Amino acid sequence: MEAKEEILFIVSRFPYPLEKGDKLRAFYQLKELSKEYNVTLICTTDIPVSQAHQQIVNQFCKQIHLFQLTKLGLIFQLLRTILGAKPLQVHYFYRKSIHRKIKAIIAQSKPAHIYCQLIRVSEYIKNEHLVPKTLDYMDALSKGMERRIQTEAWYKKWFYRLESKRLKQYERRIFDYFEHKTIISEQDRKLIYHPDNQDIVVVPNGIDESFFETLPVEKDYDLLFTGNFSYAPNIEAAIFLAEEILPRLHQKGISCKLLLSGASPVKRVLELQSPHITVTGWVDDIRTSYQRSRIFVAPLFIGTGLQNKLLEAMASGLPCITTPLSNNALGGTDGENILLAEDIDTFVEKIAEGLVIEGKFSSIAKNGKYYIERLYSWEKQTLKLLQLLRAHS
């Protein structure tokens, strides 16, 4: 039996638990890549990683190298951000001491390929010229930061404006250091402002097959929105649902219950709790939140990338109402397998139809589930990455 080739997989956060999009993408890509390669995971982390979580990820890795980011180092890097030209996203995760250790790991392991998730850790390997390298941009981080300028408080706008500008420049500059590049969606590829951005390979996210299962739970909520509730686009969406959409539904005489389910809810989200609104915090099995609900609503007006929450909700058999911005990467068809709304009036109108008219969106839910099942398995999506690595290792 032919021995597996060695690859290095470098991430900025430990890929478990799966409460953030970059972790989820890394975890399932690791799982698929490990079928064909011996994977050495190199990971920076600013929080302790439990042995239990390490054991879960370790089943897909030959070795794991964890590098703790200290608070003292973070302060130093923040000062470098103020005085330098690189974005905070890059400075935050970089340490010279870690860089030296990574160089030693590369020299010792002699990998056939290095795969780097996000520009956050690209400084560690950009000058490694003896090994083929792939950078997964994942999202156009600069555009996500730019969109936040409109929603942040006035005294924060200067930072997001500066960080967006630096990210845009860095995303363009780092392109030429890597032989190969991937990204999560076509719309994000267009937002990497490099003349050769068409060379970036689109590798979307997938969905774990367990989401297609039916669980024995009661549907005791009308509306659902999920996500990491320390992330600005999700916070904005939760507030919009609770303070704009729900009151309008109540004015129409439609009494409904909203479930906000996801990790790390900030104080502003926790304050939304009411007799009509439940904020769960972290849920061990997020599938139960989807299957407890009748309609998934994602009023996301900022942010980039392919929304995992939409994949999960549609796979769970829920009709989904979201914005054209969120659907761009997903590629659903309005009125066939998804419902689109651009303003509060349209959101309220479509939600009201779904709640009042029994079975109104049943065919959309069925079509949505089939659409995700047909196109968005992790095995199918990661095959695009595997084909790239096979050709260039």
**pLDDT value at residue 226:** 97
CATH code assigned to 209-375 = 3.40.50.2000
> How does pLDDT run across 132-177, given as a tens digit for each residue?
999 999 999 999 899 888 878 899 999 899 999 999 999 999 999 9
CATH 3.40.50.2000 boundaries in the chain: 5-206+377-392, 209-375
**pLDDT value at residue 393:** 73
**pLDDT value at residue 152:** 83
Q: Give the span between the Cα atoms of 128 and 108, in whole angstroms.
A: 14
Tens-binned pLDDT, residue by residue, of the chain (393 aa): 468 999 999 999 999 999 999 999 999 999 999 999 999 999 999 999 999 999 999 999 999 999 999 877 777 777 777 777 899 989 999 999 999 999 999 999 999 999 999 999 999 999 999 999 999 999 999 998 998 888 788 999 998 999 999 999 999 999 999 999 999 999 999 999 999 999 999 999 999 999 999 999 999 999 999 999 999 899 999 999 999 999 999 999 999 999 999 999 999 999 999 999 999 999 999 999 999 999 999 999 886 778 999 999 999 999 999 999 999 989 999 999 999 999 999 999 999 999 999 889 999 999 999 999 999 999 999 999 999 998 887
User: Each residue of 368-388: b (16+ CB within 10 Å) or e?
Assistant: bbebbeeebbbeebbeebbeb
Q: Give the span between the Cα atoms of 300 and 238, in whole angstroms.
A: 9
Burial zone of 157 (CB within 10 Å; 0-12 exposed, 13-18 middle, 19+ buried): middle
- Token representation of residue 243: 């303070």
Burial zone of 201 (CB within 10 Å; 0-12 exposed, 13-18 middle, 19+ buried): middle
Q: Homologous superfamily of 5-206+377-392 in CATH? A: Glycogen Phosphorylase B; (3.40.50.2000)
**pLDDT value at residue 253:** 95
Q: Give the span between the Cα atoms of 222 and 7, in whole angstroms.
A: 46
Q: Give the span between the Cα atoms of 335 and 222, in whole angstroms.
A: 20
* Residue 365 contacts residue 317 (beta carbons within 8 Å): yes
Spell out the residues 6+ positions from residue 260 whose beta carbon is closer than 8 angstroms to its own.
225, 226, 229, 238, 241, 242, 269, 272, 277, 278, 279, 280
H or E, element range at 66: strand 63-68
* Residue 137 contacts residue 118 (beta carbons within 8 Å): yes
Q: Look at strands 277-279 and 293-298 and give their pairing.
A: unpaired
**pLDDT value at residue 81:** 72
Q: Give the span between the Cα atoms of 97 and 67, in whole angstroms.
A: 10
List 94's β-bridge partners, or say none. Answer: none
Q: Give the span between the Cα atoms of 214 and 256, in whole angstroms.
A: 23
H or E, element range at 157: helix 154-174
Q: Which SS3 state, helix, strand or coil, does residue 273 take?
A: coil
Q: Which SS3 state, helix, strand or coil, does residue 339 take?
A: strand
Q: Give the span between the Cα atoms of 215 and 254, in whole angstroms.
A: 27
Strand 320-322's sheet: what is its strand order?
277-279, 258-261, 221-226, 293-298, 320-322, 339-340
Q: Give the span between the Cα atoms of 130 and 116, in whole angstroms.
A: 15
Helix axes 154-174, 141-148, angle to 10 degrees: 170
3: DSSP letter: P
* Residue 369 contacts residue 317 (beta carbons within 8 Å): yes
Chain center to CA of 231: 11
